[in-house]
Amino acid sequence: MSSVAQLHWRHPPPVEAPCPTDRQKVIRLGVSADLTGIGRDNFKRTPLYMVWAHLLGSLPPINNASIAEKGGFSPTYCTLMNARACFRGVNRPHDTEDGGDSVYIYVLKIAATLRNDQKNAMVCPIGTYLVPPQNVFTVQVRLNASLQKPVDELDGLVTRIEPVAGEAPSHALPVGHATRYAEQCW
Amino acid sequence: MTERDRMSDIDSAAAGSYEPAAIYYGDSDCLEYVREDDFCIYERVDEYLTLIKDAEGENLIGFKLKGFKNRIHKLKPQLELNDRQFLYVMSAIESICTELGDLLFADENRSKAYKAAYKLAENDNVILDRREFGTRELIAA
């Protein structure tokens, strides 16, 4: 088997996203080692499964991963191009910044996701989970200008993906989004 | 090449199995402790603390301390006196509470959240291995 053409689930390809400052433009983002677990002995699989399903729009390329769909449910396959909103600034210390101004947050509405599931461990430890409808997913991104080590030929990095509570009544945006982020880009 | 050949096996790259531990995520500058590798809900408390709850949003299974590099800078004198390999995460929570002072006690929900995170860190004896954070960052902070 050639290793050149092999997709490895811990080496996801670049993710496409609408540009925070111009939604019509597309930027390309790498996936942080915080999510891939590269160089770590101990890392959580669930967020990387989410990266594949919700940022790359597919099951992770793991043998028998399709067992996740055996229960009659599929995870929501989408990408950041489906983001409902984008915010800039996390209003808190972040790395060397007092206000985390360089952090961008994309918001996704996800109906079903993937998680680490030891019930299927004999085949593949992955399962589909129906996300409670009051939740949304936030995806944190840092653009190259803010990174100490810019990512070659890419515009930045995806650093986190998190399910958070959505603000009532629509549950379309994170709770407290008006104060927890500096500004809404779109 | 068949489709199967293009796939990777789940443990082909020494994926290992998740063990609860405080993990520092450098690119998002946060320290996270979570008991299980499973779906969980992140519940923001304030700019420093996020509680991590189970899928039902009821049981506390972890917490996230944000802006941790900034926090380490404030804990530096304490770290210099402590030459052990591990940092008790309770110390970091105490440092935030000290900084918040009266603001913390003026808000009952906020106060409860910090107490819950502190209790979890204490009960699970949550420690951060300095190697996890990186010696370079500790010196540079």
pLDDT in tens, B76-113: 666 655 656 677 889 889 989 998 999 988 999 999 99
CA atoms within 13 A on the CB side of B32: 25
The length of chain B in residues reads 141
Given this model, what pLDDT does residue B4 score?
59
CB proximity B34 to A under 8 Å: yes
CA distance A168 to chain B (A): 15
Structural domain contains residue B12: no
Structural domain contains residue A1: no
Cα separation, A109 vs A131, in Å, equals 10
Q: Which amino acid is at A139?
A: V
- Structural domain count, chain A: 1
CA distance B79 to chain A (A): 19
pTM of the model: 0.89
Q: Look at residue B10 and tell me whether its pLDDT is greater than 60.
A: yes
Q: In b/e form, how buried is each residue of A106-135, taking b as 16+ CB within 10 angstroms? A: bbbbbebbbbbbeebeeebbbbbbebeeeb
The β-bridge partners of B111 are none
Residues of chain B with C-beta less than 8 angstroms from the C-beta of A104: none
The partner residue sitting opposite B27, judged by closest CB among A1, A34, A37, is A34
Reading chain A (186 residues) residue by residue, the pLDDT tens digits are 444 456 788 999 999 999 999 999 999 999 999 999 888 878 899 999 999 999 999 999 998 899 899 888 899 999 999 999 999 999 988 888 888 899 999 999 999 999 998 877 778 889 999 999 999 999 999 988 766 565 668 899 999 999 999 999 999 999 999 999 999 999
Contact between B92 and B75 (Cβ < 8 Å): yes
Q: Look at residue B68 and tell me whether its pLDDT is greater than 70.
A: yes
CB contact under 8 A, A1 and B70: no
Q: What share of chain A is helix, strand, coil (3-state, %, to 5)?
A: 20, 30, 50
Q: Which residues does B113 contact at the CB level (< 8 Å), separation at least 6?
A: B45, B49, B51
Number of Cβ within a 10 Å radius of residue B85: 10
CA distance B134 to chain A (A): 12
Q: Look at residue B53 and tell me whether its pLDDT is greater than 80.
A: yes
So what's the ipTM on this one? 0.90
The partner residue sitting opposite B13, judged by closest CB among A8, A125, A165, is A8
Closest CA to B30 of B60, B63, B55: B63
- Structural domain count, chain B: 1
Residues of chain B with C-beta less than 8 angstroms from the C-beta of A93: 29, 47, 66-67, 69-71
Given this model, what pLDDT does residue B134 score?
61
Place of tokens 């983001």: A83
Number of Cβ within a 10 Å radius of residue A96: 11
Q: Which domain holds residue A166?
A: 15-184
Of residues B132 and A166, more confidently modeled: A166
Structural domain contains residue A133: yes
Minimum Cα–Cα distance from B30: chain A residue: A94
| Helices B89-100/B108-123 angle, 10° precision | 160
Q: Which domain holds residue B97?
A: 17-140
Phi, psi of B132 (to 5 degrees): -65, -40
**A-B C-beta contacts closer than 8 Å:** 127
Number of Cβ within a 10 Å radius of residue B118: 17
The partner residue sitting opposite B8, judged by closest CB among A61, A131, A160, is A61
Residues of chain B with C-beta less than 8 angstroms from the C-beta of A142: 27
Structural domain contains residue A111: yes
- Residue B139's pLDDT band, with cuts at 50, 70 and 90, is very low
Structural domain contains residue B8: no
Given this model, what pLDDT does residue B69 score?
83
Q: Which two tokens stand for residue A106?
A: 């994309």
CB contact under 8 A, B44 and A46: no
- The helix/strand/coil state of A112 is strand
Closest CA to A102 of A47, A45, A159: A159
Structural domain contains residue A173: yes
Q: Which residues does A34 contact at the CB level (< 8 Å), separation at least 6?
A: A159, A160, B25, B26, B27, B28
Phi, psi of A95 (to 5 degrees): 55, -120
Picking from B42, B45, B68, B132 by the largest number of A CB atoms within 10 A of its own CB, the best residue to mutate is: B42
Number of Cβ within a 10 Å radius of residue A12: 21
Structural domain contains residue B79: yes
Q: Which residues does B136 contact at the CB level (< 8 Å), separation at least 6?
A: none
CB proximity B8 to A under 8 Å: yes
- Residue B8's pLDDT band, with cuts at 50, 70 and 90, is confident
CA distance B69 to chain A (A): 6
CB contact under 8 A, B28 and A92: no
Given this model, what pLDDT does residue B14 score?
45
Structural domain contains residue B73: yes
CB contact under 8 A, B66 and A93: yes
